[in-house]
Structure formats: C-alpha cells, structure tokens
Amino acid sequence: MDDVVLNYHDSLLRNSDVKLLEEGNWLNDNIIGFMFEYFRQELFSRDDILFLDPDFAQLIKLSQNDEALSLLSTVGLNGKCLIFISVNNNRSTTVAGGTHWSLLVYDAALKCFEHYDSCAQTNEDEAKYLAKLLSQALSVTPKLEDKSFAEQKNSSDCGVYVIKTASVLCSSKIRQEPCDFSAITPTAVASERQRIKQLIMEKSSAGR
C-alpha cells in the first residue's frame, strides 16, 4: 500500500515518492513540488518571491495560449522580484513523465529570464515557450539567457540539480551577491537527496 508520508500545505508525499530519493532514481514532480512548497512557506517566505508548482508549470505549458494566460493570472505574478519555474520536457497531454528537469528563473531587477540546465540545452525549447508565456502574462519583454553550468554525471539527478540550484540561486539573489555554483558538485547533489529525505521525515514526525 502506497501510504501517505507527509501532507505539507499544498504538497502530498507518499512512500513511492520518498523512495525516489534513493540514488539512481529520477525525481518526480511531487518531490520537486514539496521542496518548492518548503521554500515558499519557510526558507524563502517572502511576498515578492514565487515558486511555481511543477504541476502548474506543466499545465500552462500544455494549455492553449489564452487558457495558459488565464491560469497565470490567478497566481499573482505582478510585483514578484523572482519567479522560479521547474521545466519538464514532457510534451504529452495524456501521459505523465518526461526525462529531464531544468530551472527557469525570472529576475525582475535584471529584466531577464535565466535558464539553468544541468544537461546542456536539453530543455531549451520548453524554457523558451514558458518564458514567452510568462512574458505575455507580465506584459514585459525580457531577454532569455542560457545559464547552463556543470553538467550532471548521470541521467537521474536533474531534479536534484533543480532543487539545489533554486536554493543556492535564491539565497544569492536575496543577498544581491554573485551566485557560486562551484558547490553544486555530484557529491553535493548525492548528499542533497539524503538531506531532502531527512527534511521530509522530520516534517512527518512533527505532524506537518
């Protein structure tokens, strides 16, 4: 039985989700969604920072343009200095999945979308399309910059890179300091899996 491990605000995790944190597994939207919710609620709890839920990001990507803009109007984009969006390369409207995650960030101060992909430019087209939708919703014309950095060493860690990069990047931008990606190494990513699992267990034990 796939029991519920944690019900945390708008995030629900089951045993099958938590097992994906073992090395070699590709993270799903539920794990990334939990961490984005944790960032939203606790670590970076600010009215001017938005972490879009992965399911919502996928929904707007696969919706018709008018419907996507209508959906975006409900999440309070205006007034946000930073918007974090997980990008998935699944293009099917009927089958869940995908093979790669990357991170798209809107920085209002720089008037720029930044795309962070740990596997070269695998999600370039998806990132461009999401940036186009958000630009229309925000009524701005920002540039899109590819910020691809040190590549992952396997096919399963992309979701962990998204989580780790979002955390490091948000901290740096809040402090208005250059972002040091040198700490995002394969070893650090492996440790991040266990750190996330520990956080989930702590929240579960606390009844959150």
Handedness of CA 170, 57, 193, 114 (dihedral sign): negative
Q: Length of the chain, please? A: 208
Q: Are strands 49-51 and 143-146 parallel, antiparallel or unpaired?
A: unpaired
- Whether 117 is catalytic is yes
- Whether 158 is catalytic is yes
Handedness of CA 159, 16, 44, 128 (dihedral sign): positive
Q: Which of 117, 157, 170, 179 is catalytic?
A: 117
Which residue's entry shows tokens 């018709």? 64
Q: Which of 29, 100, 119, 157 is catalytic?
A: 100
- Whether 119 is catalytic is no
Angle between helical axes of 124-138 and 54-62 (0-180°, round to 10): 90
For the annotated catalytic residues, the residue numbers are 100, 117, 158
